[in-house]
Structure 1
Amino acid sequence: MAALTVTPFLPASLAAIILHDRIGRKALAFTILLLICICMLVTGVVLSSAANRSPRVLFTFYVIGLGFSQLAFFSNMQYTLELIPTCVRCQALGALYSISYSFLICKGCILNMRNIFFPLPEIILGVLILLCAGLFLLLPETLNRTLPCSLEDGEKLGIDEHWYTFSCMEKRKQPEELDSSLAPRNGI
């Protein structure tokens, strides 16, 4: 049983590596959180009937959720490292870890909501994850962009983007366009 719980780790890390450069960091983070939200709400609906609370069904949802959460962790960690300027990266990551561990206190409270209504924890987490997915839309895309080294660079990152800007939707440059953009110009 313990061996089955670690099976999603390798596919999640490989998927994060492959999808980062194909669809971009912002699109991947938003899509993964949206999929996790849908899975949480489907889990809540399935678990609302007493007939679907068998250990096999619960374990299946657990492994699927673990795979998505690992994919979200790997992709969001990479995205976070690219967004934070180099000069404050250690302090910012330390603060993020402290905040995330402080939310572990809330875990017991949310899981105890199961005594009130069995799928209530899944509903609460699904709504929170949907809010987080919406917040990811406000972040800039970092794929094919110069990453910030200073605080000023960090403030300028994504200044010309909209919330609906995804790098996977941008027109890809043809090799001829890339060659002409790299060619030296007269007078330079």
Structure 2
Amino acid sequence: MMWTAFPSLLVTSFYFLIHESAQWLITRNDIDGAISRLQRVAKFNKREVSEMDFEDFRKHCSKSSESTKSKEDTHKLPGLLDALKTPRLRKTVIEVLILFMIITVCYNTMARNVEGVGISPFIMFTLNALTLPPSGLVQAQLQERFGRKFTLVSSVLLTGLFTAAYGTVLTIWKQVNVTLLVALLLTSRFGISVATGATMQFCTELIPTCVRSQILAVGTIAGAAASFLSPYIQYLDTYSKAGPATLLFLLFIVCTWLCLLLPETSNKKLPISLVDGEQFGVGEGMFDFLRKRRSNKVDKVDASAETQEKLMPE
């Protein structure tokens, strides 16, 4: 208990080590606070940024805030209910919440599946844990090269196929090779780890900054509430060995469909206000993310070439 609690206690130090989001502070009209954070980040990264650049940044934020006044009530900070009043953004929020619930249920169910494989559950837990570091590295590489949406869709779909293969093997063969079962389970565990990390990244970028913390908090709670289904899904193997795998496969198919409905976020200017969130991804097709990634260019931003050069890492 003490050893498992110790890493959690380290998270409390994040409050003193990690800066508040400058983008979020801007949505709260705290431009001075945002500039203060950016100055500290520039100092830590040993980047020389002049006061004139920060002054231009201040004017840009003030101008953007004034242009938003006619579209949003700046005297009232937008919240979850305000996001649900917008047609397209409401659809995105609902899909994000469902994604959180499905991924959490699938992750917890697959994490519990350590018995009946033919090896010690302690060894199976250890093998499952060994898949986590490489899954994070693979996720980062896939997102960098192919984008967020491709990473999530491919990982969810492939994990569903391997889960279906696991259920098929249990159904067809009475005496199943232990090595084959363990290999299929570890592959599925690897895939769901990639899918979970990709879901967190993708959904975070889809939600506008002004309501991001509220919606992601609701999504986390919704996923935790839905995870109570995990033991019942796992209990289906008492009636049918392939029961849990079949149900998980169907959930992965639903998850893949929801992912296809959402717009790509890679190399795009992410939404900040509710207006941005409502317009984000307009006109984008379901399979536009399959186009060659290198042909896509980053959205233009209002910054001088000199300033961009100073802020870019060497």
Q: TM-score, normalised by structure 1?
A: 0.85
Check 1:3–1:170 CA distance in 2 against 1; reply closer, same or farther (3 A cut): closer
Q: Which residue of 1 aligns with 2:295?
A: 172
Q: TM-score, normalised by structure 2?
A: 0.52
Q: How does 1:1-188 map to 2 (within 5 A)?
A: 1=123, 2-48=125-171, 49-52=173-176, 54=178, 56-166=179-289, 168-169=291-292, 172=295
Check 1:37–1:3 CA distance in 2 against 1; reply closer, same or farther (3 A cut): closer
Report the Cα offset of residue 50 of structure 1. Answer: 2.1
Report the Cα offset of residue 53 of structure 1. Answer: 6.5
Amino acid of the structure 2 residue aligned with 1:117:
S
User: Secondary structure of the residue that 2:249 maps to in structure 1?
Assistant: helix
Contact 2:165 2:184 in 1 (8 A): no
How large is the RMSD of aligned CA atoms in angstroms? Answer: 2.2
Check 1:32–1:92 CA distance in 2 against 1; reply closer, same or farther (3 A cut): same
Counterparts of 1:152 and 1:90 in 2: how far apart (Å)? 17
Deviations 1:35-76 (A, max 9, x none): 01101110000111221174x444333322221111111111
The farther-off stretch of 139-148 and 112-121 is 112-121
Counterparts of 1:150 and 1:167 in 2: how far apart (Å)? 28
Q: Which residue of 1 aligns with 2:116?
A: none
Check 1:106–1:39 CA distance in 2 against 1; reply closer, same or farther (3 A cut): same
Contact 1:30 1:133 in 2 (8 A): yes
Report the Cα offset of residue 173 of structure 1. Answer: 6.2
Greater relative contact order (CA < 8 Å, ≥ 6 in sequence): 1
Contact 2:166 2:185 in 1 (8 A): no
Counterparts of 1:172 and 1:32 in 2: how far apart (Å)? 23
Contact 2:145 2:293 in 1 (8 A): no
Counterparts of 1:105 and 1:161 in 2: how far apart (Å)? 36
Aligned-residue sequence identity (percent) comes to 29
Aligned length: 176
Find the structure with the greater CA-based Rg: 2
Amino acid of the structure 2 residue aligned with 1:103:
A
User: Secondary structure of the residue that 1:124 maps to in structure 2?
Assistant: helix
Structure 1: runs of 5+ lacking an equivalent: 184-188
Counterparts of 2:296 and 2:253 in 1: how far apart (Å)? 33
Counterparts of 1:162 and 1:109 in 2: how far apart (Å)? 37
User: Secondary structure of the residue that 2:248 maps to in structure 1?
Assistant: helix
Amino acid of the structure 2 residue aligned with 1:50:
K
Contact 1:44 1:123 in 2 (8 A): yes
